[in-house]
Amino acid sequence: MIKVGIIGATGYAGVELIRILLNHPQAELAAVSSVSFEGKAVSEVYPALYGLCDLACCSAQEAIDKSEVVFACVQHGISQEFAAQCVEKNVAFIDLGADFRLMEESDYEQWYGGHYTHQELHSQAVYALPELFRAEIQKARILANPGCYPTSAALGLAPALREGLIEPQGIVIDSKSGVTGSGRSPSETAHFPNCNEAFSPYKIAAHRHTPEIEQTLSTVAGEKLKVVFVPHLLPLNRGIISTMYARLKESVTQAQLRDAYQKAYHTERFVRVLEAGKTANLRNVRCSNYCDISLHIDSRTGTLIVVSALDNMVKGAAGQAVQNMNLLFGLPEDTGLHMIPTCF
């Protein structure tokens, strides 16, 4: 059994990890850490876990000491020190925050206002989107679990960019997310009267996931590109749906596009390319590790429209992190992730 520790276990991503790992046949929850609730049983914080996980929240150091792999579910600027401690103790480290996602420190400084405190660790870290970078993930010890919006955008656009079917410049990504994406801490934006029966964009052309999206898509395309990215807040708990617009290269057909996506994903356990005429819907991926993708062409304007839907707490966070752990430890990638989406 793999001994697992979670730092930041009482946030939404952390408790989702607990939910998933309790059903993982090869993982044992060795320790759960929380600054806010240290000493309290995690089932006191989340009564749904009563009798299922009654571990007392401990310190981050204790979680590291007891584990073979540590998941860090903390805000940016904190994970680098935990990663250094894990490397020193030969403990694998999977960061669900932003500290290791960006290759260039200048991007991290610009978008997150911080610095790389352990430069040597960043050269070891791998950006861990399994469907695109599986081989690199299997050889790493520090993994940067992708952000939720970047996962939906990268999976939605990668095949078309890789095969040169769309123009790399001028891509527009319009995404909508449930309120859990903003975390567990109370905020004015996520306050029920403010988000219920409301729908609006936020951080227009200024969201911190923008450089991560551009970095991943540039890697796939083989050239530097920029995107227009506008996120929106949906009045629901879970899910991200992204609608992406890109100009098709001349004479590209629907058949070529479908072939490219089938070639990219036909063996992928968690990416479902929908049949022609169907549209990805949040309802069909809820509480699962799936990303559903639908392809559409506006022939009047020569535009490819890709819709991708995923659960921001699972494929956009905890589920993908467990998928990465499985790769690190040589397990079948879907171990512990056989979650069927809810049907209504």
Q: What is the pLDDT of residue 186?
A: 67
Percent of the chain with pLDDT over 90: 94
> Is residue 171 one of the residues assigned to a domain?
yes
pLDDT at 212 over 70: yes
Q: Do residues 308 and 190 share a domain?
A: yes
What is the 3 state secondary structure string of 52-109? Answer: CCCCECECHHHHHHCCCEEEECCCCCCHHHHHHHHHHCCCEEEECCCCCCCCCHHHHH
pLDDT at 183 over 80: no
Q: What is the pLDDT of residue 187?
A: 73
Q: Do residues 116 and 49 share a domain?
A: yes
The CATH number of whichever domain residue 39 belongs to comes to: 3.40.50.720
Q: What is the pLDDT of residue 230?
A: 98
Sign of the four-CA dihedral 92, 94, 99, 101: positive
Kindly report, residue by residue over 227-245, the tens digit of the pLDDT.
999 999 999 999 999 999 9
> Is residue 178 one of the residues assigned to a domain?
yes
Q: What is the pLDDT of residue 178?
A: 93
pTM exceeds 0.75 for this model: yes
> Is residue 237 one of the residues assigned to a domain?
yes
Kindly report, residue by residue over 102-137, the tens digit of the pLDDT.
999 999 999 999 999 999 999 999 999 999 999 999
Q: List Cα–Cα distances, 40 to 50, 56, 59, 101, 185, in angstroms.
A: 13, 5, 11, 32, 18
Q: Do residues 153 and 97 share a domain?
A: no
Active-site residue set:
148
Residues 308/293, Cβ–Cβ less than 8 Å: yes
Q: Do residues 115 and 157 share a domain?
A: no
Q: Do residues 252 and 301 share a domain?
A: yes
Q: Which two tokens stand for residue 153?
A: 């955008």
* Domain span including residue 62: 2-124
Question: Buried b vs exposed e over 92-129: b needs ≥16 C-beta within 10 Å?
Answer: bbbbbbbbbbbbeeebbeebbeeebebeebbeebbbbb
Q: Do residues 28 and 107 share a domain?
A: yes
Q: Do residues 54 and 180 share a domain?
A: no
Q: What is the pLDDT of residue 196?
A: 81
Whole-angstrom distance, CA of residue 128 vs CA of residue 321: 8
pLDDT at 14 over 80: yes
Number of domain units in the chain: 2
Q: Is 255 helix (H, G, I), strand (E, B) or coil?
A: helix
Mean pLDDT over 213-236 rounds to 97
pLDDT at 150 over 80: yes
Q: List Cα–Cα distances, 13 to 6, 181, 311, in angstroms.
A: 10, 9, 12
Average confidence score pLDDT of the chain? 96
Whole-angstrom distance, CA of residue 82 vs CA of residue 65: 11
Q: What is the pLDDT of residue 41?
A: 97
> Is residue 326 one of the residues assigned to a domain?
no
Q: Do residues 185 and 273 share a domain?
A: yes
What is the maximum alpha-carbon separation in the chain? 63
Q: Token pair 């992928």 is at which residue?
A: 268
Q: Do residues 307 and 186 share a domain?
A: yes
> Is residue 16 one of the residues assigned to a domain?
yes
Q: Do residues 289 and 214 share a domain?
A: yes
Q: List Cα–Cα distances, 176 to 89, 271, 306, 310, 317, in angstroms.
A: 40, 19, 14, 11, 16
Q: Token pair 């420190």 is at which residue?
A: 105
> Is residue 141 one of the residues assigned to a domain?
no
Q: Do residues 32 and 168 share a domain?
A: no
Q: Which two tokens stand for residue 80?
A: 């680098």
- For residue 15, what are the β-bridge partners? none
pLDDT at 184 over 80: no
Q: What is the DSSP string of 150-217?
A: HHHHHHHHHHHHHTT-B-SSSEEEEEEE-GGGG-SS--TTTSHHHHTT--EE-STTT-TTHHHHHHHH
Q: What is the length of the chain?
A: 344
> Is residue 336 one of the residues assigned to a domain?
no
> Is residue 34 one of the residues assigned to a domain?
yes
Q: Do residues 114 and 262 share a domain?
A: no
Kindly report, residue by residue over 260-273, the tens digit of the pLDDT.
999 999 999 999 99
The CATH number of whichever domain residue 299 belongs to comes to: 3.30.360.10
